[in-house]
């Protein structure tokens, strides 16, 4: 990882006009993404992970959506104020996307060769011949056997894991500075998940791009992220290096997320430790801390009425809570929940 910041986001806010009033779904997030860095954005479904990245290039409907704040790409371009036409040169070209379900990202009636070469011809101005050559290279890079023959195949002729590799190849095709992988392995089985995360890590090393890895599954980020943003109800509630976050989580929500991870040899634990309750509706956010209604550490006065600021508690470690989980308690949660997902063969043999 270098010190060069490729994407700098400040005070990003996204809301939607709805029948029940404005839904505030992203409530002011900040981060710097460096060349070669993997930033993980983690949180439950609905916490604003996808919208916070889709909004950068206006991949959300505006209106009813509204986006404020700034996002500087490569130190120069400010994305939020850009026109649609300017953004069309950023999307896919400078920021690549890989989404969860390869069947919806791929068009079933076109060959993957056509889908791979389209962006390169449009954005990079390559001839059909050159785009095809580059498509073969890309498919090879993402581990698709006999790439030359596969170019003329349709999406349904690939397995789920292979389709996701094709989608990654498309995401990489214009050599983006930033690749956003949004639940990119969620639909895949555990073994294929591991292959895809390894693949992205390898490609990142080789190509030097920065990756934003979005997932609801804290377990997935353990081996791949440099930094982690934990989101809850549209806010970052904890931000730290992956190392610090796993060694010493501090926000009660992060502790709860860790506690809901499956533990090797202790399958029961998964359900027992899950956080009770649901996140607040974005049209009816609590007046105080967003996590207050579900927090087991809350104090009923301050937490209910005041919104805690994001505060630096150690070098590079930020927490949005009035209550800091004591070190021993956090250590116990971290130790009890080693981030180990049972290997599939152990599961088959009934070892776990
Ligand atoms: N087009 C839209 N109109 C209204 N609300 C939306 C729209 N898109 C997303 N939302 C809301 O924004 C919130 C955050 O969504 P999202 O970013 O997709 O969550 P995550 O990716 O963390 O699961 C959710 O409450 C969702 O219902
Ligand atoms: Mg999402």
Instruction: Give the model's pLDDT for residue 265.
Output: 47
Dist. CA 227 → ligand 1 center (Å) = 23
Burial class (CB in 10 A: 0-12, 13-18, 19+), 187: middle
16 beta partners: 23, 65
Select 1-82+214-352's CATH number: 3.40.50.300, 1.10.10.60, 1.20.1630.10, 3.30.70.100.
3.40.50.300
CA proximity to 54, closest of 83, 26, 78: 26
Rounded Cα gap, residues 215 and 135, in angstroms:
28
Q: What does the domain layout of the chain look like in residue ranges? A: 1-82+214-352
d(CA 239, CA 98): 23
* Residue closest by Cα to atom 26 of ligand 1: 46
Q: Which atom of ligand 1 is nearest to the CA of 183?
A: 21
What would the two tokens of residue 40 be? 């993980």
Pocket test for ligand 1, best of 23, 58, 63 (most atoms within 8 A of CB): 23
76 by Cβ neighbours in 10 Å (0-12 / 13-18 / 19+) ranks as exposed
Low-confidence ranges of the chain (pLDDT < 50): 264-272, 338-352
Residue that has been written with the tokens 């490569």 in this structure: 74
Beta strands 65-73; 77-78: pairing state: antiparallel
Q: How far apart are CA 17 and CA 64, in angstroms?
A: 5
Which pTM value belongs to this model? 0.89
Index of the ligand 1 atom closest to the CA of residue 23: 5
pLDDT of amino acid 337: 54
The token pair at 37 is 């860095």
Distance CA 15, CA 227 (A): 26
Q: How high is the pLDDT of residue 48?
A: 96
Among 216, 195, 208, which Cα is nearest to 49's? 216
- What is the 139 CA–ligand 2 centroid distance (Å)? 26
Q: Which residues line ligand 1 (CB under 6 A)?
A: 16, 18, 23, 25, 43, 45-51, 60-61, 64, 282
Output the pLDDT for position 274.
61
Closest-approaching ligand to the CA atom of 64: 1
Sign of CA pseudo-dihedral 346, 350, 351, 352: positive
SS (H, E, C) 212-234: EEEECCHHHHCCCCCEEEEEECC
Ligand 1 atom having least distance to the Cα of 43: 22
Q: Which residue owns the Cα nearest ligand 1 atom 18?
A: 50
Taking the CA atoms of residue 114, residue 115, residue 119 and residue 121 in that order, the dihedral angle to the nearest 10 degrees is 0
* Cross-sheet strand order for the sheet of 317-319: 95-98, 178-182, 210-215, 38-42, 227-232, 235-241, 317-319, 311-314
What is the 41 CA–ligand 2 centroid distance (Å)? Answer: 10
């Amino acid at each position: 990882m270098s010190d060069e910041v490729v994407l700098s986001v400040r005070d990003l806010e996204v809301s939607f006009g709805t029948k029940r009033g404005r839904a505030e779904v992203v409530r002011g997030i900040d981060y710097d993404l460096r060349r070669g860095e993997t930033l993980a954005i983690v949180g439950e479904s609905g916490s604003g992970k996808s919208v916070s990245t889709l909004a950068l290039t206006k991949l959300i409907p505006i209106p009813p959506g509204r986006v404020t704040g700034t996002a500087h790409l490569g130190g120069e371009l400010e994305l939020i104020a850009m026109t649609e036409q300017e953004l069309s040169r950023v999307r896919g070209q400078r920021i690549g996307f890989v989404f969860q379900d390869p069947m919806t990202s791929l068009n079933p009636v076109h060959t993957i060769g056509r889908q791979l070469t389209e962006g390169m011809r449009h954005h990079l101005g390559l001839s059909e011949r050159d785009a095809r050559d580059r498509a073969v290279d890309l498919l090879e890079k993402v581990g698709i056997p006999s790439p030359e023959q596969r170019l003329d195949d349709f999406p349904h002729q690939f397995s789920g894991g292979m389709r996701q590799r094709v989608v990654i190849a498309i995401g990489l095709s214009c050599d983006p500075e930033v690749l956003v992988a949004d639940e990119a392995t969620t639909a895949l089985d555990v073994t294929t998940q591991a292959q895809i995360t390894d693949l992205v890590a390898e490609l990142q090393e080789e190509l030097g791009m920065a990756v934003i890895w979005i997932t609801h599954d804290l377990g997935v980020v353990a081996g791949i992220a440099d930094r982690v943003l934990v989101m809850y109800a549209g806010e970052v509630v904890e931000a730290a290096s992956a190392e610090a976050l796993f060694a010493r989580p501090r926000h009660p929500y992060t502790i709860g997320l860790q506690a809901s991870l499956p533990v090797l040899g202790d399958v029961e634990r998964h359900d027992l430790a899950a956080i009770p309750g649901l996140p607040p509706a974005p049209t009816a956010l609590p007046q105080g801390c967003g996590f207050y209604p579900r927090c087991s550490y809350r104090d009923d006065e301050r937490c209910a009425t005041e919104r805690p600021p994001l505060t630096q508690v150690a070098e590079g470690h930020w927490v949005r809570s009035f209550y800091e989980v004591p070190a021993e308690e956090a250590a116990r949660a971290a130790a009890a929940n080693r981030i180990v997902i049972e290997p599939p063969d152990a599961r088959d043999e009934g070892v776990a």
